[in-house]
Structure 1
């Protein structure tokens, strides 16, 4: 019996030792690879001064009207993620893709990721580029930030276009994310391993270079201090938006999933939001949450129609 126990303990010890060695290796590889990738990463867009730091903004096209793109929460490289949509819009509009602090090639920040701070920083970036009249187009949580933005800078925003955008009062936004677990996986390099086994951009309209850039920036920006701060403020930011609507006279066009797998009332919430303004419309599309990945032609077509009909 003692011999069997001794052998079992030795076996368990060997397994633990192997696991520890593997984790040590993935941790070191992740740290070294992240540093190397950061140095070799191709740059895009332009850096503009915001609050004593640098925010990255990509400007494309040269139309008379301007569309400003804002990302959903956690989008690693917004200017690249919006590539399919930019390609559809830039022939008719000047398209400005903003990468808020903690996203893409923009700096990190110590300021809490409250709606007020995020809105103010995005506006400062646009001011630095002398952009003072535009349609605001936002994906996911940008729908919440967009309401505050439109009220704060109503004289600049000519319309809001939502891409499966978040809505005040949507259920589930008071649930905490498992950030400690995800952070551990990131530190140990296991998220890098998982990404290597599952290409999140497989089958999507991105070239290999763009895919590579987005994967690198995902490794760098995921669970950064800025990311964590925004994640921690999601509940309070949604709470502050509860009961709010876009300005009544602001034209609002909402693209939304026809059948959301996560929220049963998704269509109803967007219909109500569109009805809260004088000129509101909802276009339901058969696609996933990142509608602009697969349905950019439809989004660009209906956006052009909607904006052209405005007085």
Structure 2
């Protein structure tokens, strides 16, 4: 064997050893990943089963479209406030707790948990605005609530504009809490539904929530409420009903662009003062009230969830507004 042949043989042997080492490393990494996913999946299954027993019921169930919808009613005021949540708020009645407690001395408060949210059932019915609005209304009909102020957070602004046009004789006013506007930009986005479904089913969603910072940690909720909200979030986040609603977001926004709030309907819109994620946030809301006989925009420093920190100011401004329009 020539020197050149010997050199090629040695090089080939080294290459073979390096490949074997690389394959062992890759194999070990793949085994570690599969083991991690298996552990996360198992922990999620066990935790879901355990947490279901720890979730404490609140509110009451009403029959809507053959299913159970959870509604929390608090307070005995002569005027009624109906609260509608933003998209993905896992436990709406608990998430609104600070605001509800502040409203209760003056109003009867009705917090509706849509299908797929809170303690309500899931549904296979498509999450179009029409279906969601019909379900809200059916819940109120079952409770014999026929006159009220509609107060909604985030995407409830989208559902709210259809609701007040469909049931104008029932709604006294609409109050938005950083509420969505049908014409806001960027709502034609296509969401990675398959990825979200995988995160849910694999248990990785729970893992990511646990390693992330607690969004409720610095807020004034009591520890028990925080714990309950976290358990319900682990159960509900990215469930099939919510993902179906997400699938319809673009089409629901497009459909709503032809609607406006009735000119004779009082409008009070609380909005985040420094919203950098949606271009023209303030002008969009000012446009909604420009044709209203009684319209007002109130800017507030805070996050999108203004009711977590500005609940006192919201109630104070609401009472003043109602006194002005009487």
TM-score by length of 2: 0.93
Distance in 1 (alpha carbons) for counterparts of 2:137 and 2:303: 29
2:90 equivalent to 1:76: yes
> Which shifted more, 208-217 or 48-57?
208-217
Distance in 2 (alpha carbons) for counterparts of 1:200 and 1:259: 19
Distance in 2 (alpha carbons) for counterparts of 1:279 and 1:20: 60
TM-score by length of 1: 0.98
Deviation per residue, 1:15-36 (Å, 9 max, x gap): 1101100101101111121122
In structure 1, the partner of 2:29 is 15
Residue pairs, 1:185-196, within 5 angstroms = 185-196=199-210
Q: How many residues align?
A: 311
2:103 equivalent to 1:89: yes
Q: 1:264 aligns with which of 279, 286, 306?
A: 279
Helix, strand or coil for the counterpart of 1:309? helix
Distance in 1 (alpha carbons) for counterparts of 2:249 and 2:47: 31
Q: 1:161 aligns with which of 153, 169, 175?
A: 175
Distance in 2 (alpha carbons) for counterparts of 1:261 and 1:189: 32
Distance in 1 (alpha carbons) for counterparts of 2:138 and 2:202: 37
Distance in 2 (alpha carbons) for counterparts of 1:274 and 1:250: 10
Gapped regions of structure 1 (runs ≥ 5): none
Q: 1:247 aligns with which of 236, 239, 262?
A: 262
- Asked if the contact 1:169/1:238 (under 8 Å) is kept, the reply is yes
In structure 2, the partner of 1:61 is 75
**Greater gyration radius:** 2
CA RMSD between the two structures = 1.0
Runs of 4+ in structure 1 deviating by more than 3 angstroms, as ranges, are none
In structure 2, the partner of 1:173 is 187
2:141 equivalent to 1:133: no
Shift, 1:188, TM fit = 2.0
Distance in 2 (alpha carbons) for counterparts of 1:178 and 1:200: 23
